[in-house]
Amino acid sequence: MKFGVVMFPGSNCDHDTYHVISKVIGQPVDFIWHRQSAVADCDAVILPGGFSYGDYLRTGAIARFSPVMGAVKEFASRGGLVMGICNGFQILCEAGLLPGALLRNKNLKFICDHVNIRVEATDTPFTNRCQRNQVLSVPIAHGDGNYFCDEQTLAELQRENRILFRYSDADGRITAEANPNGSLDNIAGICNRERNVLGMMPHPERASEQQLGSSDGRIIFYSVADTLAELAKAS
Amino acid sequence: MKAKIYVTLKPSVLDPQGKAIHHAVETIGYHGIKDVRQGKYFEVTIEDSFSPEEARAEIERMARDVLANPIIEDFRVELDSDS
């Protein structure tokens, strides 16, 4: 099993993510440079947080055209596990691997804060170790995290159970007050129809060790590692 | 040849920046401003060997693929030769 963490110019959570996978989860991990046109022997690819290409034009709009994104698309179409965190989520939306877009936060502020997210679905490679309605304390750090899509897409996401995380209060109640950025339906993370591509604004890699305030986020990486271990056993 | 490309948020998409500007100009004392929507503006220079039709086709393709995100934005292209 091997994880890959993509490095774009301006990524700044790449090393955090690498650290958590290698030292906390204890799995092999490699960096993938954005100019590479293959994801090599990686079994799960993570697009990390940051400000790829300085967020010029729109967040994720330039990174989407990096050579590596062709490989990531191809990898995803073969069923490979792809996870976009924060800027990674924005890139996946721009690339069309996930529906919708991340708009400027409703209050126009860059928000750096611990929030609670509720796990809405556990039948995915990213959440299979979670309990449904489990509340995770995970930080957010973004200026453009306000999830938007048209009504038809939202209905589809709801019907197909593709909203994996929603902003909630500490008791798991989905309220307007718990929504930090104005996201539609308190959406913090979604997956594609095939359930092998995840995008989420909160940073699980910043909440994977107790000395950083929360280790709730590591369950997501453990879920992916479990999935890959099972896939390896089956093949 | 030059092209001007205007990218604007779709009417259905909330524009908190436009709202903040609207609120600010009202506070400063400008009257009669009913609404403000913020967008993006690009000036692009195209090889003179392109015909206006070719230039427009290329610029519209670029606007659709790169400059605007069709999920949230509309765009409008003006060519210099239009004026």
Residue B71 contacts A, CB cutoff 8 Å: yes
What is the domain partition of chain B in residue ranges? Answer: 2-82
pLDDT, tens digit, 9 for 90 and up, residues A39-54: 989 999 999 999 999 9
pLDDT value at position A40? 87
pLDDT, tens digit, 9 for 90 and up, residues B32-74: 999 999 999 999 999 999 999 999 999 999 999 999 999 999 9
Q: What is the CATH number of domain B2-82?
A: 3.30.1280.10
> How far away is chain B from the Cα of A148, in angstroms, using its nearest Cα?
8
Which of A57, A65, A103 is facing B72, going by the closest CB pair?
A: A103
Strand order in the sheet with A187-191: A29-33, A3-7, A44-47, A81-85, A197-200, A187-191, A163-168, A111-119, A135-142
Residue keyed to tokens 């994880």: A3
**Closest Cα in chain A to B12:** A150
Tell me what ipTM this predicted complex has.
Answer: 0.86
A103/B19 Cα distance (integer angstroms): 14
Domains of chain A: 3-234 (3.40.50.880)
- Which ranges of B6-81 would DSSP assign to H, the alpha helix? 16-28, 52-62
pLDDT value at position B29? 95
pLDDT value at position B82? 54
Residues of A in contact with B72 (CB under 8 A): 101, 103, 148
Q: Are A157 and A99 in contact (CB under 8 A)?
A: yes
**Closest Cα in chain B to A150:** B71
SS3 B80: helix
pLDDT value at position B64? 96
